[in-house]
Amino acid sequence: MDVERAVGPAPPRVPVVPAWSFWCFLVAYVVLVLAGRATALVEGGPALVWPAAGAGVLWLLARPGRRWAASVLGAVAVVALTLHAVTGAAPGLVLAGTLAAVLQPVVAVLVLRRWCPRLLGAGGDRTISDPSLLARTVLAAGLASAVGALAATTSMLLFGEPATVLTTVLWWTRNLSGMLLALTAGHLLLHAVVTGTRVLPSRRRVPELCLLLLTSLGAFALAEVDRGQGMACLLIGTSVWCALRFSTALAALEVAGVGALGVALVVVGRAGYPELPDASDAVMIQAFTVTLLTVALAIGSSRDQRDAVLAELDEARRDAAGRARHLETVTEVMGEGLTVLDADANLVRMNSAARAILEMTPAGATAPTAARDYVVCAPDGSVLDPRQHPSVRAITEGRVGPEDLLLVLDDGSRRTLSVTADMLSDGGRSVGSVVVFHDVTDERRQTDQLAEFAATAAHDLRNPLTALRGWLEMATETATDGPSQLSLSRAREAAARMQALITDLLEQASAEGGLLSAGELEAVPLDLAVDDVARYLPTDAVLTREAELPVVSAHPEMLRQLLTNLLGNAVKYVEPGVTPRIAVTARRVGDRVEVEVEDNGIGIPESERTRVFERLHRAHADDGRFGGTGLGLAICRTVVLRHGGHIECRPAAGGGTVLAFDLPAAVPDVPPVAAPRVDGALTDEG
């Protein structure tokens, strides 16, 4: 027989014990076989108990591998055969005992590895201190004992030995009780050794253990005197006491001791039995021992599971407290202010950055403070209704912002805050909001100053450039010779490029800044915005779009500039003689609208697809057929980023380029506005 196949493949696991423990198991098995044979009630007959059955299962579980399994089963067969023979067992009983000794551990281990993969030795690291594992272990032991009993009875009948149904029951009960006692107690002790778990009680509980042992002996004595009139139930009470107050391993050992004492008294003809008690009395003793053991282990395993759950809860509580401390440390070192509000919009928690800002307000920074107590204004200076505060709206609407708001301080001054708020939920129910904000007053002031400077510079530079271009046109018209006309024409082109560069620089400066606030965004139909820009495309350009594009939430002027640059590039960068073809598609994805502008132009090399969005970088700078300032796509990126989106460049399937970006989708209940009309020429590409 293929031992590995019979036992079942061992799950991937490390050995429970070292290889040299084979000899320790061998010695223990020999001792238990001799102890079992010593309990034979009739000379040459079967033993009253058979603890070696559990030892064989533990021995086989101790290590994985074919060699170990073959060695264990070979040793079990030799020991069982030899010791049955030398102790005077009948020939049929020798074969029956040997066959049962080999089959039982094979069946038990096969079932345990199948039913209890978490068990130590079967693939896991658990022991029987778990009600589910205990139940499956008892079933596995019962099944293995039944197989052994049937095999033993059949073997005895073949040799002409007397065997009845009661004989089969006796074999089953004696093997079941012996297997359960040795297997459970042994496994619990082995697990304690491997994991370092404490089995014996602490010193302060030793007196209680001594009292328990004395009580157990007293209960046993009463049961003997009572002679089967019900006093044996007292032993159940002592076993329950041990299981509740001490380790499960100690409870199993206490039951094993009671059972061993009972068997010893039966063997010597005491405890109210005749000198040679019959098999039915032996069956009753085995059944009582199994019941006692099952009760003790069930209580002990339930208590162990409860203790394990409490330990896990305590560990989870400590872990949660540690995470909370870490989170508090992180929030305290944040440069941004962070506040937490409850469902009634009261501030219940804030970090130091938030406290530093809110302390300068009339409402102060002492939690709990209602959000309505803070005076907040829109960017245009109008005071917001408390219900329109981002922190309050987020409680019911979800994520709000980022948007710029003005916070009124004690001295009447105002600070510009970039605010983002989001809902806090518990099981799908809103329980408050969390708000993150930072002071952008200086940034916005610098941006405004930069835009003002750019506008002033552009105005001051445009006037002389306009005059210069006018004089150059007049000079070109009056020039008579070819060289003069060529020089003047080049001067006009240079002036035109400078004027385009100034325009792009102004637009780039105007587009710079942080994320746009909700007050700066409007609902704009994307199809109307595309159509409005398309009016200024060359007449030979072919523009196609979906019949109805989504409505976006965007800054109207910035959206116009974005589409102007993208459509202008699509028309400009085509091979001479090729009709420009542009396709605009868009779809709503969640709270965003993804837009794609595809052309049939000359395309952008792969190495340039990320760099084209850099300022003053041109992908085709060496191609004299195409001019530009290198700012067009940089402006597009700035506009998209300010709308909280992303823009990328990729090749089109049929040649050309696809520029894809996303914008926030419009809120359904906000009426759209018409897109602004384009009043100027298309901007050059970057």
Pair (76, 90) in one structural domain: yes
Between 306 and 273, the more confident residue is 306
Residue 300 lies in a domain: yes
Least confident stretch, 35-39, 218-222, 488-492? 488-492
Domain boundary among 466, 495, 513: 513
Of 636, 673, 400, 382, nearest in space to 522 by CA: 673
Pair (263, 291) in one structural domain: yes
Residue 302 lies in a domain: yes
Tell me the pLDDT band of 462, cut-offs 50, 70 and 90. Answer: low
Pair (566, 595) in one structural domain: yes
Assign 3-class secondary structure to 566-612: HHHHHHHCCCCCCCCEEEEEEEEECCEEEEEEEECCCCCCHHHCCHH
Residue 13 lies in a domain: yes
Tell me the pLDDT band of 73, cut-offs 50, 70 and 90. Answer: very high
pLDDT for the residue 419:
85
**Quick one: what percent of the chain has pLDDT higher than 90?**
8
Of 99, 133, 131, 94, nearest in space to 113 by CA: 133
Between 3 and 390, the more confident residue is 390
pLDDT for the residue 3:
40
pLDDT for the residue 504:
60
Pair (262, 213) in one structural domain: yes
* Dihedral of the alpha carbons of 129, 133, 139, 144, in degrees to the nearest 10: -90
CB < 8 Å & 24+ apart, contacts of 460-465: 461/502, 462/499, 462/502, 465/495, 465/498, 465/499, 465/502
Residue 317 lies in a domain: no
Pair (258, 167) in one structural domain: yes
pLDDT for the residue 272:
41
Q: What is the pLDDT of residues 526-567, one digit of tens each?
A: 988 998 888 888 878 888 888 788 999 988 888 888 898 888
pLDDT for the residue 507:
59
Pair (64, 177) in one structural domain: yes
Q: Which two tokens stand for residue 37?
A: 């044979």
Tell me the pLDDT band of 77, cut-offs 50, 70 and 90. Answer: very high
Mean pLDDT of 370-388: 81
DSSP one-letter code for 427: T
| Sheet architecture: strand order including 369-370 | 369-370, 346-350, 337-342, 429-439, 414-426, 400-408, 376-377
pLDDT for the residue 106:
92
Q: What is the CATH number of the domain that holds 492?
A: 1.10.287
pLDDT for the residue 654:
75
DSSP one-letter code for 251: H
Contact yes or no for 120/127 (Cβ under 8 A): yes
Between 1 and 606, the more confident residue is 606
**Quick one: what percent of the chain has pLDDT higher than 70?**
77
Domain count, the chain: 4
Q: What is the pLDDT of residues 297-315, one digit of tens each?
A: 888 888 887 887 888 888 8
Q: What is the mean pLDDT of the chain?
A: 78
Q: Residue 53 is which amino acid?
A: A
| Sheet architecture: strand order including 581-589 | 542-545, 581-589, 592-599, 657-664, 647-651
Residue 277 lies in a domain: yes
Does the structure show a pLDDT above 60 at 274? Answer: no
Q: What is the pLDDT of residues 174-197, one digit of tens each?
A: 788 888 888 888 888 888 888 888
Q: What is the CATH number of the domain that holds 364?
A: 3.30.450.20
- How many whole angstroms separate alpha carbon 110 and alpha carbon 116? 10
Does the structure show a pLDDT above 60 at 676? Answer: no
Of 536, 545, 552, 565, nearest in space to 667 by CA: 552
Does the structure show a pLDDT above 60 at 624? Answer: no
332 contacts: CB under 8 Å, gap ≥ 6: 351, 352
Pair (134, 38) in one structural domain: yes
Mean pLDDT of 419-447: 81
- How many whole angstroms separate alpha carbon 240 and alpha carbon 251? 8
Q: Which domain holds residue 451?
A: 440-513
CB < 8 Å & 24+ apart, contacts of 146-154: 146/172, 147/103, 147/104, 147/107, 148/53, 148/99, 148/100, 148/101, 148/103, 148/104, 148/107, 148/172, 148/175, 149/100, 149/175, 151/96, 151/99, 151/100, 151/103, 152/96, 152/97, 152/99, 152/100, 153/96
Q: What is the CATH number of the domain that holds 594?
A: 3.30.565.10
Tell me the pLDDT band of 428, cut-offs 50, 70 and 90. Answer: confident
pLDDT for the residue 678:
42
Pair (198, 160) in one structural domain: yes
Residue 242 lies in a domain: yes
b/e burial code for range 382-421 (CB count within 10 A of at least 16 → b): eebebeebbbbbbbeeeebbbbbbbbbbeeeebbbbbbbb
Q: Where are the alpha helices (DSSP H) in 159-278?
A: 165-195, 206-226, 234-245, 248-267
Pair (445, 426) in one structural domain: no
Coil, helix or strand for 413? coil
Residue 330 lies in a domain: no
Domain boundary among 470, 491, 513: 513
Pair (162, 280) in one structural domain: yes
pLDDT for the residue 5:
43
Pair (254, 114) in one structural domain: yes
Domain boundary among 383, 407, 439: 439
Pair (454, 424) in one structural domain: no
Residue 320 lies in a domain: no
